[in-house]
Each structure stands twice: as C-alpha cells, then as structure tokens.
Amino acid sequence: MYDPNNVFAKILRGELPVTRVYEDAHVLAFKDIRPAAPIHVLVVTKAPYTSFDDFSVHASKEEVIQFWGGVRETVHALKLSARGYRVITNVGADGGQEVPHFHVHILAGKPLGAKVCA
Ligand code: 5GP
C-alpha cells in the first residue's frame, strides 16, 4: 500500500525543498540529503509506486520507458557518461529501502570500488 505521506511524496508535492537536477512529466531528480559519494542524485517516479518491485510489476511499458528515459536525461545533465557512475535501487527490508517510493540512486564522482554490502 502506497503511503502518500512518505518523504518523496512530500517533495513531489513541493512541501519539502530539494536541489533539483532534472525534471520532466514523469520523474524528478534531486540531490540526496546524505550523499554517499561526491555525486549522489535520486531519480523518483512522479507516479505513486512503492518500490522497483511494485513498479516492475504494475507499470506499463510506456511508463518503464519514460522512467529510464528520465534516468538517462539525469545522467546527461550531470555529464557522467565519460567517467562513469553507478545506478542502484533498494527494495524492501533486506534491500535497505528507507523511503517507500520507487527511486534509483545515481552515484558518481570518484572510483566507487567494489559492490560491497555494509
Ligand atoms: P533508500 O534507502 O530508500 O533507497 O534511500 C533513500 C534516500 O533518500 C537516502 O539516501 C536518504 O539520504 C534520502 N533522503 C531521505 N530523506 C530525504 C530528504 O528529505 N531529502 C533528500 N534530498 N533526500 C532524502
């Protein structure tokens, strides 16, 4: 069940300030408040999906294309293609998901090393 009071829903409604990186009709991309890398941006769907699990089951093909198009545009806005970057999404309790609104993290700005589990 989607919680309309989660922090990203509030951000999407303009109730909390963020540093925007990219926005279109389908996604909003903004800087993470607790960056885990020199560049740490979140790309969130504007539609109310709880996680990648929810999105991957319930979103239409068009929505999937629109979301990943928004991620691509965010990467381009940040000029990350030459040096590289990492895209991750956390799902549920074992995935360490903190905010129950589907989003991906874009991490970049230094060599990110191994894909460790803390
Ligand atoms: P998750 O663990 O759900 O994949 O990641 C949620 C992310 O949202 C965390 O990296 C956290 O720092 C970030 N975050 C939580 N609250 C806020 C907020 O109010 N503003 C911004 N910009 N990021 C937030």
**116 pLDDT tier (thresholds 50, 70, 90):** confident
User: What confidence score (pLDDT) does residue 79 get?
Assistant: 98
Q: Does the pLDDT of residue 118 top 70, yes or no?
A: no
Residue type, 10: K
Helix (H, G, I), strand (E, B) or coil at 93: helix
If one residue of 3, 5, 6, 7 were mutated to test the ligand 1 pocket, choosing by the most ligand atoms within 8 A of its CB, it would be 7
Active site residues: 103
Q: Is the dihedral of CA 73, 75, 81, 86 positive or negative?
A: negative
| DSSP H or E stretch at residue 89 | none
Of all atoms in ligand 1, which is nearest to the CA of residue 30? 22
Say how many Å lie between the CA of residue 60 and the centre of ligand 1: 26
The partner residues of 104 in beta bridges, in order of sequence, read: 43
Domains of the chain from N-terminus onward: 7-108 (3.30.428.10)
Residues 6+ apart with CB under 8 A from 110: 37, 38
pTM for the full predicted model: 0.97
Pocket, ligand 1, Cβ cutoff 6 A: 7, 16, 18, 30-34, 42, 90, 96-99
